[in-house]
Amino acid sequence: MNIGEIAKRAGVSRSTVSYALSGKRPVSTATARRINEVIAELGYRPNASARALAEGRTRTLGLVIPPASRRLTNAQLGFVASVVEAAATHDLDVLLSPSGGDHDRSFERMVTGRRVDGVILMEILLDDPRVVRLRQSALPFVTIGHVEHPGASWWVDVDYAALVRRCVHHLADLGHEHVVLVSRSPELVAAGYGPAARATDAFLAAAAQRGLSGHVVCCADEPAAGLAGFEEIHTTWPEVTAAVTINEAALPGLERALHRAGLDVPSDFSVTGVIADRLAEDFHPPLTAADVPAEEMARLAVELLMERIADPGATPRHALLEPPISLRSSTGALRRPQF
Amino acid sequence: MNIGEIAKRAGVSRSTVSYALSGKRPVSTATARRINEVIAELGYRPNASARALAEGRTRTLGLVIPPASRRLTNAQLGFVASVVEAAATHDLDVLLSPSGGDHDRSFERMVTGRRVDGVILMEILLDDPRVVRLRQSALPFVTIGHVEHPGASWWVDVDYAALVRRCVHHLADLGHEHVVLVSRSPELVAAGYGPAARATDAFLAAAAQRGLSGHVVCCADEPAAGLAGFEEIHTTWPEVTAAVTINEAALPGLERALHRAGLDVPSDFSVTGVIADRLAEDFHPPLTAADVPAEEMARLAVELLMERIADPGATPRHALLEPPISLRSSTGALRRPQF
DNA sequence: CTGAAAGCGCTTACAG
DNA sequence: CTGAAAGCGCTTACAG
């Protein structure tokens, strides 16, 4: 069943049916009604491929995700769901492509097959080959995260540097003198993962500025690594009394390690960082932390992308979010040893 | 740039280029080489919409996910990543549709817009309107999970009933007499969510069969609910000494609640259930549980769907997985009170 | 307000 | 081994 069939049954031309559907040309009330009746009766819906071919756009967004083999974290997956949701709001469909692993064919299909009107990229590296590839294509794209030298490009990100800096100042204000940053996995860091790199630099700089001794530990994205990571911290630098963490997945392990070590939070040890509200509230005690507003970021990314698609010549825009640090219960003043 | 441009530059007809690409008709080595050179030089790739229109298939699978508003669990998100990965293996793209919430337009587009060759549905209810809708369409589909009366249909699922039954027997064998099932959220249960319903029935039947007293508690999919749920259990039925859980998201809360109550696992309290290996191993102590093999299920779902697409008249197939219960450290013999 | 026709970029019988 | 042409199902100037 196609538009011709509808036209025949409604006794009009195919173009009239098309215009009745799109509203791009006035159609008399009578014919419109007749057409709509037939459409409703037959449950007709235009063929998306034919429409895409004729219109030159697909009404579909591409979303490039890390390959599942590298086990997606909650946070990453949260972006996926939020992007799909935001796109659905605009009646846009989302085509998924796992990239980076063995599946670059999927990414190539997305970039060159004209299956999508634009692409959203996440988990951006400071020097990201996918961004390079996309730049040399004509396809509009927006990144969640940003490369080291974004120049004039379209992106949305959380200001990890600023947030980590504020965490360090917060701890310094509380009197802590030895602090540690719990970063992401060594592999991610080695690959030049933006948030980890920026957090590390900002952490060390802020610690130095405040005269604190600052250490950095890399943890794989899993509870067990959080546990091992903290034990490493505790034995290597027993003087450390506070941690800043950007590793959500390691959080449960960190909590368990603190407990095992017999350390009370916050009276013996303070914890803060950049952690999605939802997880921060699940920590015990609730974590003083800056949110990672995945939904807002996804919404913004979709909006920026729509803007760029609508006007490829528009001046590039970006958004660097700096959510507030919510004061909860995991940080406290340094309890100095009693002499 | 299109196939005509390639043809012109290679000095052949468009059909020859097409056949050189598809291999559906022999092409002389010389022309093939010439064509491939031009293609490589211009970086040509066929327009996916045009091809889909001409071929009558899109090489794309649809995946219907629960709306993000109902906050996806880890497990649900894991299926998404695994399905995308499995599809990529077959050079298939995946189009996502959030359904159930306000976004039924997205689902309708997928079902009637001929954007996909087939659909994978997850989070199936015993009586699922999406399955009803899909059945009355001509679109091939496979469900991860199964409706109450699947009849002859295509699906893959974990046998929650059998697994929960085995958990109960395991606990009974260890001497436990008062057991509880930690199920999913009241809303999901009320909606007729398959795994929760089947687990409950099997749990109560097995408990009765073994002469145990069995209770059921529903928990939202979050740690806080797990904590509250266990406290409810502990105060309402203090005699309970073991739990079977199918609620992965509530696990951290359950662990914390046991700890708060001063209960050692497994010497004071045993825990088992149907929980993804990865999470079971993160529990403290590691959980004796049956795996939810998301990757395998996703792979099977994609394979079944491809089979159904290739031959719509094929006899429906399904797979009911019954992964073994891995004996880890969270269950032990009932420690009877000393008289 | 409406229709006839060209065109989007492919694939695939049909001919040779 | 190769080409000319029809057709997939839409949209959109062009005419009236």
Q: Which domains does chain A have, with CATH numbers?
A: 3-46 (1.10.260.40), 60-158+294-321 (3.40.50.2300), 160-292 (3.40.50.2300)
- CA B300 → C1' D6, Å? 40
Give the pLDDT score at B228. Answer: 95
Q: Which of B67, B112, B115 has the CB atom closest to A93's CB atom?
A: B115
Q: Are the beta carbons of A95 and B98 separated by less than 8 Å?
A: no
What is the model's pLDDT at position A174? 96
Give the tens place of pLDDT for each residue, A129-166: 999 999 999 899 999 999 999 999 999 999 999 999 99
Instruction: Give residue B265's pLDDT band: very low, low, confident or very high (50, 70, 90).
Output: very high
* Average pLDDT estimate for B275-280: 93
Nearest to A58 among B49, B53, B89 (CB): B49
Q: What is the C-alpha to C-alpha distance for residues B244 and B249, in angstroms, rounded to an integer?
A: 14
What's the pLDDT band for A172 if we cut at 50, 70, 90?
very high
Give the nucleotide nearest to B47 (CA→C1'): C9
Instruction: Name which of B85, B227, B281 to mutate to probe chain A: the one with the most chain A Cβ atoms within 10 A of its Cβ.
Output: B85
Predicted local distance difference test score (pLDDT) of residue A99: 80
The reply to whether A27 Cβ lies less than 7 angstroms from strand C is: yes
- Residue B4 CA to D4 C1' — how many Å? 13
pLDDT at B69 (0 to 100): 60
Mean pLDDT of A158-175: 97
Question: Do the Cβ atoms of A47 and B114 come within 8 Å?
Answer: yes
Q: How far apart are CA B104 and CA B127, in angstroms?
A: 17
Phi (first) and psi of residue A93, to 5 degrees: -90, 165
pLDDT of residue B75: 79
Distance from A159 to chain B by nearest Cα, in Å?
25
Split at pLDDT 50, 70, 90, the class of A275 is very high
What 3-state DSSP class applies to B76? helix
Per-residue pLDDT at B131: 94
Instruction: Give Cα separations from B293 to B73, B156, B157, B179, B271 (angstroms).
Output: 15, 11, 10, 26, 20
Is residue A65 pLDDT above 80, yes or no? yes
Nearest to B170 by CA among B272, B276, B321, B279: B272
Q: Which residue is nearest to nucleotide C2 (CA to C1')?
A: A16
Chain B CB contacts of A252 below 8 Å: 252, 282
Residue B100 has pLDDT above 90, yes or no: no
- Describe chain A by its helix, strand, coil percentages, rounded to 5: 45, 15, 35
Q: Is the peptide bond before B266 cis (omega within 30 degrees of 0)?
A: yes
Residues of chain B contacting residue A253, judged by C-beta atoms under 8 Å apart: 282
Distance A56 CA to C4 C1' (A): 23
Mean pLDDT of B8-20: 94
User: Inter-chain contact B282–A46, Cβ cutoff 8 Å?
Assistant: no
Average predicted confidence (pLDDT) for chain A: 93
* Mean pLDDT of chain B, nearest integer: 93
Q: What is the pLDDT of residue B142?
A: 98
How far: A55 CA to C1 C1' (Å)?
24
Question: Is the link from the previous residue into A266 a cis peptide, with omega within 30 of 0?
Answer: yes
Q: If you search the block for the tokens 């007749």, which residue do you land on?
A: A34
Amino acid identity of A76? Q
**Is residue B202 scored above 70 in pLDDT?**
yes
Distances (CA, A) of A265 to A250, A272, A284, A324, B283: 17, 11, 8, 21, 21
What is the C-alpha separation between A26 and A31, in angstroms, rounded?
11
Mean pLDDT for the stretch of residues B21-44? 92
The pLDDT tens digits for B76-96 are 888 898 999 999 999 999 999
Are B110 and A91 a contacting pair at CB < 8 A? Answer: no
> Which residue among B52, B80, B281 places its CB closest to the CB of A80?
B80
Q: What pLDDT does B184 receive? A: 95
Collect all residues of chain A within an 8 Å Cβ-Cβ radius of residue B69: 85
Residues 24-53/B with CB < 7 A to strand C: 24, 44, 46-47, 50-51, 53
Contacts of A295 in chain B (CB under 8 A): 68
CA of B48 and C1' of C11: distance in angstroms? 12
* Interface A:B, Cβ pairs < 8 A: 151
Q: Is the pTM of this model over 0.85?
A: yes
> Is the confidence at residue A175, as pLDDT, over 90?
yes
| Chain segment B156-195, per-residue pLDDT in tens | 999 999 999 999 999 999 999 999 999 999 999 999 999 9
Q: Is the CB of B18 under 7 A from strand C?
A: yes
B114 closest CB neighbour out of A49, A105, A223: A49
Length of chain B measured in residues: 339
Question: Is A124 exposed, middle or buried (CB count within 10 Å of its CB: 0-12, 13-18, 19+)?
Answer: buried
DSSP bridge pairs for B158: B321
Tokens of A148: 């080291």
Q: In whole angstroms, what is the distance from residue A128 CA to residue A194 CA?
A: 10
- The structure tokens 């999913």 sit at B184
Q: Is the CB of A53 under 7 A from strand C?
A: yes
- Over residues A176-191, mean pLDDT: 95
Say whether pLDDT at B32 is over 90: yes
Span A210-246, pLDDT tens digits: 999 999 999 999 889 999 999 999 999 999 999 999 9
